[in-house]
Amino acid sequence: MTSRTDSIIAVESGTGKHFDAYVSVPATPNGQAVIVLQEIFGVTPPVRKVADRFAEAGYLAVAPDMFWRVEPGLSLSHSKEDMARAFSILGSFSDESAMEDIQATLAHIKGLSGFKGRVAVTGMCLGGKLTYLAAARLPIDAAIAFYGVGIEKHLHEAKGITSPTLMFFGGVDKYVSPEARKDIQAAVKGKAEVVVYPDADHGFYTRGEPATAADAHQKALGFLASALGTKG
């Protein structure tokens, strides 16, 4: 593992406006990058920690503010009030605009001086669904989707996945039902690797049982090493 530094940068959107992104820069870069997509609570400390962990493994990690069009700079807790607020904001959220913002983040990374590497996308919850959609729609090099909510509503898009894709689910996730998970697994068969932790709940990667989170992260690093040609 390597040390890192972090900052907030401005990414130019397709509309000419700018949105913030949290960037975690490895001290010893491996030449590749990971875009980290948030949960419904915003670019929270746990999301930043995910970016930091990838940076510690040598990846340039960028977590764009996916809610900038609705409420920029959002960082909510898991309190009842904040949960209600997050779901309210989600009602004004557009997957199509999110794809534009992921594309803009990808272009920003590709445009960095000296960057000639590959770019993966990962995300949790809402970010997991967006990661799946990015794998199906955008020219990314790899995708890691953690417990994406609502993927089953886009099963027809699985045929668009052409890059290496890894998907994680919890067996007792109340937001991704067993039926939805089975539908997803059937749709991505031959397109993506699926890992299910039978006893894991929603959010296990950022706030679940430490051993499960650690195992998932190691699997993610191993996957990236293979998909992007790094040592992990």
pLDDT of residue 14: 85
Q: Indicate the pLDDT class of residue 232, thresholds 50, 70 and 90.
A: very low
Of 195, 129, 180, 122, which Cα lies nearest the Cα of 157? Answer: 129
Task: Please state the pTM of the whole predicted model.
Answer: 0.96
Burial class (CB in 10 A: 0-12, 13-18, 19+), 92: exposed
Tens digit of each residue's pLDDT (9 = 90 or more) over 34-82: 999 999 999 999 999 999 999 999 999 999 999 999 999 999 999 999 9
The average pLDDT across 199-211 equals 94
User: Tokens 């807790």 map to which residue?
Assistant: 77
Q: Indicate the pLDDT class of residue 113, thresholds 50, 70 and 90.
A: confident
Written as six digits, the tokens of 43 are 């670019």
Model confidence at 27: pLDDT above 80: yes
Q: What three-state secondary structure class fits 145?
A: strand
User: Tokens 């049982």 map to which residue?
Assistant: 209
Tens digit of each residue's pLDDT (9 = 90 or more) over 146-172: 999 999 999 999 999 999 999 999 999
Cβ atoms of 97 and 65 within 8 Å: the answer is: no
Distance from C-alpha of 99 to C-alpha of 156, rounded to nearest angstrom: 17
pLDDT of residue 81: 97
Q: What is the set of domains in the chain, with CATH numbers?
A: 4-228 (3.40.50.1820)
Own/partner pairs, 73-77, CB within 8 angstroms, 24+ separation: 73/20, 73/42, 74/41, 74/42, 74/43, 75/41, 75/42, 75/43, 75/44, 75/45, 76/41, 76/42, 76/44, 77/41
Q: What three-state secondary structure class fits 153?
A: helix
Q: Indicate the pLDDT class of residue 1, thresholds 50, 70 and 90.
A: low
Helices and strands: H and E segment counts in the chain: 7, 8
Residues in the chain: 232
Distance from C-alpha of 111 to C-alpha of 192, rounded to nearest angstrom: 29
The average pLDDT across 109-127 equals 94
- Calculate what percentage of the chain has a pLDDT beyond 90: 93
Written as six digits, the tokens of 38 are 């948030």
Distance from C-alpha of 231 to C-alpha of 37, rounded to nearest angstrom: 23
Tell me phi and psi for residue 102, to 5 degrees: -65, -40
Q: Indicate the pLDDT class of residue 231, thresholds 50, 70 and 90.
A: low
Helix H segments across 75-156? 80-90, 95-110, 126-137
Catalytic residue flag (residue 173): yes
Catalytic pick among 6, 108, 173, 217? 173
